[in-house]
Amino acid sequence: MSKKYAPATERNREPIRQVLETELPEGGGILLEIAAGTGEHAVYLSNAFPQWQWQPTDPDPEAIASIAAWRDEQGGANLLAPIQLDASAPEWPVERADAMLCVNMTHISPRAATQGLFAAAARLLGKGAPLLIYGPFLEADVETTQSNLDFDASLKARDPQWGLRDLAWIDALAEASGLHRTARHAMPANNLTLVYRKT
């Protein structure tokens, strides 16, 4: 069966929608979703924001098939066919975007994927356009919950290149790419949504 399910999606999709409602430009445009996974977020969020042309991407062929299956079943006219895209690649098959969304990628990928995400945001986004990143992070001035420490250890056991990223590293990466963090939204299950905009 092509259509896959991610259990966390139903828990976090509405809080993510609420953040997008406050952070996305009102006029709409092209929203590029990086590492769209199963495609459940793409369907739910594109239906919630019909003024946005929603472009889901993922590096995994099985994820692409799942996104396409969800799109065929529940997608609106504004949900575009998924594109296979590796965030760490130096060139992306995309020319521009008016907003970018990346959910649960930074900790389940090598650092090069996050580096590629910011490099691409610098190329593709216009001034003031948002890059929104959702996931768990480590913060120097915030005590990390035991559940996140356990999660970090389990990720590194699966792949030494994976793991929760330090927020200071993400911010430095953004600044080096010409983006600046403008918001930090607390989310369910000790996650955050970070908003970066091109300066």
59 in a structural domain:
yes
pLDDT, residue 7, reads 85
Averaged pLDDT of the chain:
96
Contact 5, 63 (CB under 8 A): no
198 in a structural domain:
no
Q: What is the mean pLDDT of residues 119-125?
A: 97
Query: Does the pLDDT at position 1 exceed 70?
Result: no
Residue 173's H or E segment, with its range, is helix 167-176
Q: What is the pLDDT of residues 98-114, one digit of tens each?
A: 999 999 999 999 999 99
152 in a structural domain:
yes
Query: Does the pLDDT at position 130 exceed 90?
Result: yes
Q: What is the mean pLDDT of residues 121-131?
A: 97
Q: At residue 121, what is the residue type?
A: A
Q: Which residues contact 143 (CB under 8 A, 6 or more apart)?
A: none
Q: How many domains does the chain have?
A: 1
Q: Is 26 left (phi over 0), alpha (psi -120 to 50) or beta?
A: alpha
Name the residue among 117, 126, 107 with its Cα closest to residue 166: 107
5 in a structural domain:
no
Q: Rounded to two decimals, what is the model's pTM?
A: 0.96
Query: Does the pLDDT at position 127 exceed 90?
Result: yes
Provide the residue range defining the domain that includes 167: 11-18+30-192
pLDDT above 90 covers a percentage of the chain that reads 89
172 in a structural domain:
yes
Q: What is the pLDDT of residues 29-40, one digit of tens each?
A: 999 999 999 999
153 in a structural domain:
yes
Q: How confident is the model at residue 9 (pLDDT cuts 50, 70, 90)?
A: confident
3 in a structural domain:
no
Q: Is 86 left (phi over 0), alpha (psi -120 to 50) or beta?
A: beta
DSSP-derived secondary structure for 10-69: HHHHHHHHHHHHHHS-TT-EEEEEES-TTSHHHHHHHHH-TTEEEEEEES-HHHHHHHHH
Contact 129, 99 (CB under 8 A): yes
82 in a structural domain:
yes
How far is it between the farthest Cα atoms of the chain? 45
Contact 29, 1 (CB under 8 A): no
Query: What's 34's domain CATH number?
Result: 3.40.50.150
pLDDT, residue 31, reads 98
Query: Does the pLDDT at position 78 exceed 90?
Result: yes
Q: What is the pLDDT of residues 47-66, one digit of tens each?
A: 999 999 999 999 999 999 99
3-state helix, strand, coil in the chain (%, to 5): 40, 25, 35
Find the length of the chain. 199
